[in-house]
Amino acid sequence: MNPARKRKLRLAVALGAAVSLAAVLVYTSFSASSEAAKPSELREGRSYDLTGKVVKDSIARRGDELRFEIRDRDGTASVPVVYTGVVPDPFREGREVIVSGELTRGTFVAERDSLVTKCPSKFTEDKSS
């Protein structure tokens, strides 16, 4: 093979690898992702990553089960949540949380151990709240 053709071949192989990586990325990420939603956007019958703020005075714990309400970050729509599993340290009323699960009969039933708190290494408290 002459050098010029060899270089072209190498380029083609490299481009092919790049394109296939890109295709894998796009395909897998869209099929593996779950939709993020605010309480006001929830619909029954599919799973979401619910994000929002924990409503003040809504936290109640009964044994393993934790019940609280999440409201839109800037709004009033809220949804009750039933959760089991590990509660992260920074979980507090008024904090932003992310929890995955499904809406069933008006209550968001969360997957076990899926609760994530926005950790307050935002160090300074939100001045607006």
Partner 1 sequence: MLPGVGSACLTVGLLTALYAAGASAYGAVTGRRVWVTSGRRAIYCLAALCVAAFAILESAFLRSDFSYALVAEGSSTDTPAFYKVTAVWATQDGSLLLWATLLSLFASAVLFLTRRTLRDIAPWATAVLACVAGFFLLLMVGWENPFDTLAVVPQEGAGLNPLLRHPAMMIHPPMLYTGYVGFSIPFAFAIGALVARRPGADWIRATRRFALIAWTFLGTGILLGALWSYSELGWGGYWAWDPVENASLMPWLVGTAFLHSMMVQEKRGMLKVWNVSLICATFTLALLGTFLVRSGILDSIHAFGASTIGVQMLVFIACVIALSAGLILARLPDLRSEARLDSLLSREAFFLLNNLVLVALCLVVLWGTFFPLISEALTGTEETVGPPWFNRIVTPLALVLVLLTGIGPVLAWRRVTPGRLVRILAVPGAVTLSVLVAMLAFTEAANSGTSLVMFAFVAFVLAVVAQEFVRGASARRVMTSESWPRALVRLAGRNRRRYGGYLVHAGIAVLILGVAASSAFIEQRDVRLSPGERIRIDDYEVTYRQATARLGGDGGGTGAPISLGAVLDVRRGDQAFTLHPSRNYYSTSDPSKGAISRFFEGEATSEVDVRWGLRRDLWLAVRPDLVSLEEPIARADRQFGESPGQVQAFVIRTLAELYRDDPPPAAFRAIVSPLVAWIWIGGAIAVLGALVAVWPSPEARLRRVRSLYAARVGRELTRA
Residue among 9, 11, 15, 21 that touches partner 1 (CB under 8 A): 21
When asked if residue 34 is in the footprint of partner 1 (CB under 8 A), the reply is yes
What contacts 33, CB < 8 A, 6 or more positions away? none
Asked if residues 24 and 62 have their Cβ atoms less than 8 Å apart, the reply is no
Residue 31 burial class via C-beta count within 10 angstroms: exposed 0-12, middle 13-18, buried 19 and up: exposed
- From 15-23, 75-83, 101-109, span contacting partner 1 (CB under 8 A): 15-23
The DSSP secondary-structure symbol of 120 reads G
Residue among 16, 35, 40, 46 that touches partner 1 (CB under 8 A): 35
Residues in 55-74 that interact with partner 1 by CB under 8 A: 61, 64
When asked if residue 117 is in the footprint of partner 1 (CB under 8 A), the reply is yes
What is the C-alpha separation between 101 and 46, in angstroms, rounded? Answer: 8
What residues line the site for partner 1 (CB under 8 A)? 3, 14, 17-18, 21, 24-25, 28-30, 32-36, 49, 51, 61, 64, 85-90, 92, 96, 98, 113, 116-126
